[in-house]
Structure 1
Amino acid sequence: MTTQTLLLVDGSSYLYRAYHAMRQNLSAPDGTPTGALYGVLNMLRRLRADYAHSHCAVVFDAKGKNFRHAMFPDYKATRPPMPDDLRPQAEALPELVWLMGWPVLVVPDVEADDVIGTLAKEGEAEGWDVVISTGDKDMAQLVSARVTLVNTMSGETLDIAGVQAKFGVRPEQIRDYLALMGDKVDNVPGVEKCGPKTAAKWLAEYGTLTEVMAHAADIKGKVGEYLQAALPQLPLSYELVTIKTDVDLHSELSDGLHSLHRQTPRWSQLVAEFKRYGFRTWLKEAETQMQETANTDLFGSEYIGEQAALATETMLSEKAFERPAAPETLDYQAVTTEAQFAALLDKLAAAEAIGLDTETTSLDAMTAKLVGISIAFQAGEAVYIPLGHTPAAAPQQLDLSDVLGRLKPHLENACLKKIGQNLKYDQHVFANYGIALNGIAGDGMLASYILESHLGHGLDELSERWLGLQTVKYEDLCGKGAKQISFADVAIGQATEYACQDADFALRIESWLKARMTAQQLEMYEKMELPVAQVLFEMERTGVQIDKAELDRQSHELGNQLIELEKQAYETAGQPFNLNSPKQLQEILFDKMGIPTKGLKKTASGGISTNEAVLETLAPDYPLPKIILQNRSLAKLKSTYTDKLPEMINPRTGRVHTTYAQAVAITGRLASSNPNLQNIPIRTAEGRRVRRAFTAPSGSLIVSADYSQIELRIMAHLSGDKTLLEAFKNGEDIHRRTAAEVFGVPPENVGSEQRRYAKTINFGLIYGMGQYGLAKSLGIDNLSAKNFIDRYFARYPGVADYMQRTKEQAAALGYVETLFGRRLYLPDIRAANANARAGAERAAINAPMQGTASDLIKRAMIDVRNWLVSDGLQSKLIMQVHDELVLEVVETELDLVRGKLPEIMAKVDGGMLDVPLVAEVGSGEDWEGAH
């Protein structure tokens, strides 16, 4: 999958730098100074054009003091007040930046640096690349293999080597460096007369601030005396310059980093603002956007993103950038009287298609209760039926049961087409009231996913991108955080506008997007994604039975194992300690036990890391790291699954009901949450045992059907490599065949270790793994890994040709395709950053395989479900995990299902593949037993 890029901007830094850099006395027609505003927006314009990104944010300092003032009351005490001509610009800037399409964050009690640091670390943890734009040297402490600093005013880019070259210290030493020098601007005390060269010299010799302080007596001369005098306050200075990376951002980012999707500029509002501030050139551009209904970003790129729109004519026709004409008037009405409702029923009886949406009490579809229903008949015409508002919000409402009883025939009428946005959710809500929503004919979220899987698919974003219209946001009505009110408390007038808009815009967007699809995309939308949504609804509704007693037993056993591991750790260390404390573990491993630290990763403070990667490196040679790894693995298993799964059992059904997300992964793969079935561990015995708790009721069994080596089979087809094709057609063990080819031995003489190497090579290369990754996976040197890869490609030349051909196609078009025509966009395929570009090339190689596998399993879900329904079987699909389908099968249908499943799954490619598809089927009393 393509690596996401998160672009973070230090808005406060930008503001002051723009203010001091702009010599012109720029002002608005009313005399308001605008130089800083113009400068910041211009820098953002350049930044967005120069750095490809999928997510972004501009972060500003909040007003008032922050936690550092509590630590040191004189923090920033020497800073002069904000200039009078800058203050109004500072107040106006965040909204202008937001209108330009940048998510904006202002978090109280911390500084912009801390918010950026937290987001950067979260981005790293997600495997994203992070670019931070700032002129603040403090930010250099955040630089890592995935985090880079850029300075738009100087053109400077700082990666790890850049930080070392500029400051003379590594990124993890920057805090020590800053603490030693102090910061006059922020009034952070340092060592008197200690400048950059002295600080760098000390750290080169001693490594960390702690060690510099420990050797203070060894440093001679006046500067040594200054150092000794500063010793009492240096720890405080270190804390003051340390950027927090654990700020709680849940209230600001409801969907985590995914809340920071790059957005489309709000053109209509920008026209007004540019007029106000006298930005004539930008005003002309904004007006052109509105007049020509083009989606050209103010920052010089198509809305799809300059990084993906490499050949616009090959992605979407010019027609795709048009917008539908907005209705001249809006007719949004609340239905609160019997006469209005009767008229609505007459209108439904005559309608062929409607837009549909529900307002509810919860995001949990299985438990959500109705607050209201909105129905749109055409663009600009919609009604809202309030059903669960408080009396204060809606004094007059119709009876819920009566309304649903009379709406039910229309909602269940398959001939009345329903269009919406994520209708699977609404389908659950109606099911909660015994209504089977039929006639689902369109879903804007899924239509967007087909056309532009790499972008966001929320209704707000789609409305801006495709309709050029701003939506009323839920937070605008209900607020955020602890003060958020229920939608049931929203006054009927506001609720009507919001709800009608949802149904109206969903209807418009779906129709417009569908008209933009190619014939192949339209077929995928109507014949794959929409039917899969129905299958997912039924799977979610059915759920899976969970054996709580089994999980309780496992939790108890894991608890005992953790206690035993803790004892072993104490014995091995020679003392008790907190196994979850990196500092204590660091002291024991490297100070007390003297484990060599050469080549091991360091923390930001200069100490040796005790993260999983470091412990895995040490585990083969030292017992304590191995014990710690076991402890962490079992503790996570216990907290995430054996303890948590019982809490997720629906008391009404006695089952767990996961939610499948259909429009998340750009490759088409499904994701699941609450619980996440995709991440249940299977590589350890303890992890596999969790699946024992997924059981079938009395008289039924669990059946698992798993595609065998599906991505390797797709690789054989896509590459056309004769050797691979022959091996699969002959039903050979592909890993044994690869081992025979690479090691030059007959297949019957391949050893288990050779086969393991071959398996790692086979799967590694389809994910674009290079020699360094292979060397790490196999525990061999880089030269040996290179030799293995060279031999592999010599034996499978078609694979090498496919990889090169795919990278070239991706660079030319900006996307690759699955066998069935799903387009997988690669935002970084022509990025200036070599690491980002290499990541996109690896994704280009793998995406067609993973995407085609996703398409095949979706086709299998549809065909299997349709067979079960058409033949009137009681057995049901209950889970889909990666390349596996899981069914709950009544015993009397077991033989039939076991025989038919592999037959159906083998044919879902429609004869398009040059290799056979093979599904391996097993059954048992629980999910683990079915394997």
Structure 2
Amino acid sequence: MFAALAGTEIVGQNLGFDLPFLMRLGFVPGRVRDTMLASQVLHAGNRAIGHSLKELAHRHLGITLDKELQTADWSGALTGSHREYAARDAEVPLALWDKLTDELARSDLTNTADTEMGALPAVAWAATHGVGFDRTAWEAAADGAEARVRDLRDRLDALAPNAGNLFGVTNWNSVDEVTDAFARLGITLSSTGDDALAALDHPIAPVLRAYRAAAKLSGSYGREWLRHVAPDARVYATWKQIGAGASGRMSCKEPNLQQLPRDPRYRRCFAAPPGRVLVKADYSQIELRIAARITGDRRMLDAYRAGEDLHTTTARAVLGKTDVTKDDRQLSKSLNFGLLYGMGARALAAYAASNFGVALTEAEAGRHRDTFFRTYPGLRAWHRGVPNGTIETRTRGGRRRVGVSAFTEKLNTPVQGTGADGLKRALALLWERRSACPGAFPVLLVHDEIVVECGAPQQSDVAAWVRGAMVDGMAPLIDPVPVEVEVKVGATWAG
């Protein structure tokens, strides 16, 4: 049956769930079509629209499906009702696909749907294999995080003694008690949020920020997280191909591998088995490159064509320096990423402090903002040209989002969505070209990054294979802006 299915077009509902089961049994899919993905492409941004088979059948076919048996016991002998239910679940997607194909064509979304269908086997491929994991290293990281929380809490207590509560110790997770502790130090807090603390010039503020970050790591990525590790010492996540449905970006759950800390103590826990390595390929500055293509800003286009680093280019233009330091580059990053999507001066100052450790007054942020937009007038024109009211946006690949009303979403959806289009095209090419590197397979798909596991002797060939797919997938969307992919090889995700 697998051989027959591989030679024909398969239509199903939520094949991202079914395909990994079949692929673990040896199935190699050919052409696949997914009605759920098609519906998500068609209605992206419309939160009132559901994408379950029952909802699709009612909306597009006028059929009411009885899904009561979905949660029934299927482990024993199947009844006639079981068989009828299963047959109908196989039959309905075929009828739906014809309807959805027509609607996608009328909405000029056929290419976007084709991108999703092409990436589907590769996403299932990653889900099938999971990623290798070092349990001992994770336990050590968890122990270290707990110790760091205790140390930082002790430092906070020393910096703000005489707590005004019954037990004489401040609960540093309580907004009220933190506010009171700062008040006893002569500091009036309008907010205990991270942005407010980052802007505060007092030695206790960075310690509290560090404590919160450590407590979050310890709580989210402690020993309890190890429940996600399978008996074969691999982690099998659920990849949602259009998880961030409005933009087209992927998401991940159970566990969410896309939001793992960048801290190497955690990333080194994701490791290749003996004799194998991880090839990590990451798009360089891809959102800025996409923005250069969308806006047509001449300075950005010229910089990328010349092979310049845009963070350095921005630092030189804004600060008037020839020699750019590491601190200058951090400031430049805050400007490039913060102002790309429309931040004002106050938000920029908070963003720079919180995310890049750069201290700016609101007035300084305003001056840098003005210089930035004089440097890149194409970005300013893009911002000013955004229509008022609720609009529809499109990516460079044609992906649509309806009902967009927030100014920042009118800017970031076409950029981030184009990034999603390019990454998924790259995944489709990896699958199509898989015979070039037998035994290699993707294990992590993290926004702008693809991580592939392979045999150590293959690493050079696999690096070229991944880089080629990523460049070829993205390049047509942002030409003439060059695509840069940084590739590193190591035993673990950290290096």
What's the offset of the Cα at 1:537?
0.8
- Match for 2:395 among 818, 821, 829? 818
In the TM superposition, residue 410 of structure 1 has moved relative to its aligned partner by: 5.6
The answer as to whether partners of 1:693 and 1:926 remain within 8 angstroms in 2 is yes
1:420 aligned onto 2:1: no
- Report whether the alignment pairs 1:564 with 2:160: no
CA contact (8 A) 1:816 1:848 kept: yes
How far residue 430 of structure 1 moved from its aligned partner, in angstroms, is 3.4
Q: Corresponding residue for 1:442?
A: 33
The superposition leaves residues 483-504 of structure 1 with CA deviations (integer Å, 9 ceiling, x where unpaired) of: xx75669994664565444333
1:411 touches 1:438 (CA, 8 Å); kept in 2?
Answer: no
1:796 matched to 2:376? The reply is yes
Relative to structure 1, is the Cα distance of residues 428 and 864 closer, same or farther in structure 2, using a 3 angstrom cutoff?
closer
Alpha-carbon distance between aligned partners in 2 of 1:681 and 1:865, rounded to the nearest angstrom: 28
For residue 659 of structure 1, report the CA deviation from its aligned partner. Answer: 1.1
- C-alpha distance in 1, partners of 2:203/2:146? 24
The structure with the greater share of residues assigned to helix is: 2
1:554 paired with 2:141, answer: yes
SS in 1 for 2:5: coil
Q: How does 1:185-204 map to 2 (within 5 A)?
A: none
| Contact residue 127 and residue 239 of structure 2 kept, 8 A | yes
Look up the match of 2:165.
none
Match of 1:875 in 2: 440
Select which of 38, 51, 56 maps to 1:462.
56
* SS, match of residue 650 in structure 1: coil
- Pair 1:850-2:429 in alignment: no
Residue 429 (structure 1) shift: 3.2
Deviations 1:707-747 (A, max 9, x none): 1001111111111111111100111121121122233x25x
Larger gyration radius, structure 1 or structure 2: 1
* TM-score, normalised via structure 1 length: 0.48
Separation in 1, partners of 2:408, 2:176: 37
Deviation at 1:792, TM superposition (A): 2.0
Q: Give runs of aligned pairs for residues 151-170 of structure 1, distance below 5 A.
A: none
The 2-side partners of 1:895 and 1:491 are apart by 51
Structure 2 residue 316 is the aligned partner of structure 1 residue 728: no
Given candidates 628, 637, 640, the residue that maps to 2:220 is 640
Q: What is aligned with 2:339?
A: 765
Is 2:110 the counterpart of 1:522?
Answer: yes
Q: Which amino acid aligns with 2:182?
A: L
Match for residue 864 of structure 1? 430
Corresponding residue to 1:701 among 245, 270, 277: 277
CA distance in 2, matches of 1:595, 1:510: 66
**Could you tell me how far 1:824 is from its partner in structure 2?**
2.1
CA–CA distance in 2 between the matches of 1:487 and 1:660?
A: 25
Aligned-residue offset at 1:650: 1.1
Mapped to 2, the partners of 1:489 and 1:700 lie a distance apart of 41
Deviations 1:316-344 (A, max 9, x none): xxxxxxxxxxxxxxxxxxxxxxxxxxxxx
- The amino acid of 1:916's aligned partner reads P
CA deviations on 1:243-281 (whole Å, 9 max, x unpaired) are xxxxxxxxxxxxxxxxxxxxxxxxxxxxxxxxxxxxxxx
More displaced 10-residue stretch of structure 1: 434-443 or 724-733: 434-443
1:807-849 residue CA offsets vs partner (Å, 9 max, x unmatched) = 13x858x211111111122x242xxxxxxxxxx2211111111
In the TM superposition, residue 884 of structure 1 has moved relative to its aligned partner by 0.7
* Contact residue 16 and residue 240 of structure 2 kept, 8 A: no
1:630 aligns with 2:210: yes
Contact 1:546 1:695 in 2 (8 A): yes
Distance 1:630 1:697, change over 3 A: same
**Which residue identity does 1:919 align to in structure 2?**
V
SS of 1:471's partner is: coil
Residue 841 and residue 464 in structure 1: after superposition, are their counterparts in 2 closer, same or farther (change >3 A)?
A: farther
Measured after TM superposition, the shift of residue 658 of structure 1 is 1.1
Correspondences of 1:270-289 after superposition (within 5 Å): none
Preserved CA contact (<8 Å) 2:182 2:188: no
Residues in 2 aligned to 1:880 and 1:771: alpha-carbon distance in whole angstroms: 34
Cα offset for 1:875?
A: 2.1
- Equivalent positions of 1:262-273 (< 5 A) are none
Please give the secondary structure, in 2, of the residue aligned with 1:664.
Answer: strand
SS at match of 2:27: coil
After superposition, the Cα gap between the structure-2 partners of 1:616 and 1:783, relative to the gap in structure 1 and judged at 3 Å, is: closer
Output the CA distance in 2 between the equivalents of 1:699 and 1:679: 28
Match for residue 486 of structure 2? Answer: 920
More relative contact order in 1 or in 2 (CA 8 Å, sep 6+)?
2
The one-letter amino acid paired with 1:524 is: T
Give the 3 Å change call, closer, same or farther, for CA 725–416 of structure 1 in structure 2. closer
Distance change >3 Å, CA 586–CA 493, structure 1 → 2:
farther
Per the alignment, in what secondary structure is the counterpart of residue 887 of structure 1? strand
Contact 1:865 1:877 in 2 (8 A): no
Q: 2:466 is matched with which residue: 901, 904, 908?
A: 901
SS at match of 2:109: helix
SS of 2:365's partner is helix
Structure 1 residues 924 and 841, CA, compared in 2 at 3 Å: closer, same or farther?
same
Deviations 1:533-572 (A, max 9, x none): 1001111111111000101111122222222223323333
Q: Contact between 2:11 and 2:32, CA under 8 Å: does it hold in 1? A: yes
Write the letter of the residue equivalent to 2:334.
T
- The residue type equivalent to 2:202 in the other structure is D
**Percent same amino acid at aligned positions?**
29
Equivalent residue letter for 1:648: H
Deviation at 1:781, TM superposition (A): 3.8
Q: CA deviation at 1:573?
A: 3.3
Q: Is residue 532–residue 861 contact of structure 1 (8 Å, CA) maintained in 2? A: yes
Q: What is the aligned counterpart of 2:122 among 535, 539, 547?
A: 535
Cα deviation digits, residues 570-619 of structure 1 (max 9, x gap): 333334344444444444333xx244325x13xxxxxxxx454554454x
Tell me, yes or no, if the aligned pair for 1:768 and 1:846 is still in contact at 8 Å.
Answer: no
Change in CA separation of 1:872 and 1:617 when aligned onto 2, cut-off 3 Å: closer
Letter in 2 for 1:820: G
Contact 1:421–1:459 under 8 Å retained in 2: yes
Distance 1:477 1:875 in 2: 36
Which of 236, 255, 272 matches 1:657? 236
Give the TM-score normalised by the residue count of structure 2: 0.87
Matched, 1:713 2:289: yes
Q: Do the aligned partners of residues 899 and 421 (structure 1) sit closer, same or farther apart at CA in structure 2, a change above 3 Å counting?
A: closer
Separation (CA, whole Å) in 2 of partners of 1:786 and 1:910:
35
| Corresponding letter in the other structure for 1:508 | A
CA distance in 1, matches of 2:488, 2:21: 34
How many Å apart are 1:701 and its aligned residue? 1.3
Q: Is the 8 A contact 1:691 1:927 kept in 2?
A: yes
- Unaligned 5+ segments in structure 2 are 162-167, 353-358
- Matches of 1:708 and 1:587, distance apart in 2: 45
Superposition deviation, residue 439 in structure 1 = 4.5
- Provide the C-alpha distance between the structure 2 equivalents of 1:750 and 1:758, rounded to a whole number of angstroms: 10
Shift of 1:918: 0.4
Structure 1 residues 477 and 698, CA gap change in structure 2 (3 angstroms): closer
SS at 2:431's partner residue? helix
Deviation, 1:879, is: 0.9
Cα 1:628/1:523, change in 2 over 3 Å: same
Residues of 1 paired with 2:85 and 2:291: CA distance?
48
Q: Secondary structure at the match of 1:695?
A: coil
| Deviation per residue, 1:22-52 (Å, 9 max, x gap) | xxxxxxxxxxxxxxxxxxxxxxxxxxxxxxx
Residues of 1 paired with 2:375 and 2:70: CA distance? Answer: 63
Cα separation, partners in 2 of 1:582 and 1:750, compared to 1, 3 Å: closer
Moved more, 843-852 or 564-573: 564-573
Whether the 8 Å contact between 1:445 and 1:663 is mirrored in structure 2 is no
Instruction: In structure 1, list runs of 5 or more residues that go unmatched.
Output: 1-408, 479-484, 602-609, 830-839
The root-mean-square deviation of aligned C-alpha atoms, in Å, is: 2.8
Q: CA offsets, 1:361-414, max 9 Å, x none?
A: xxxxxxxxxxxxxxxxxxxxxxxxxxxxxxxxxxxxxxxxxxxxxxxx267532
1:886 and 2:425 aligned: no
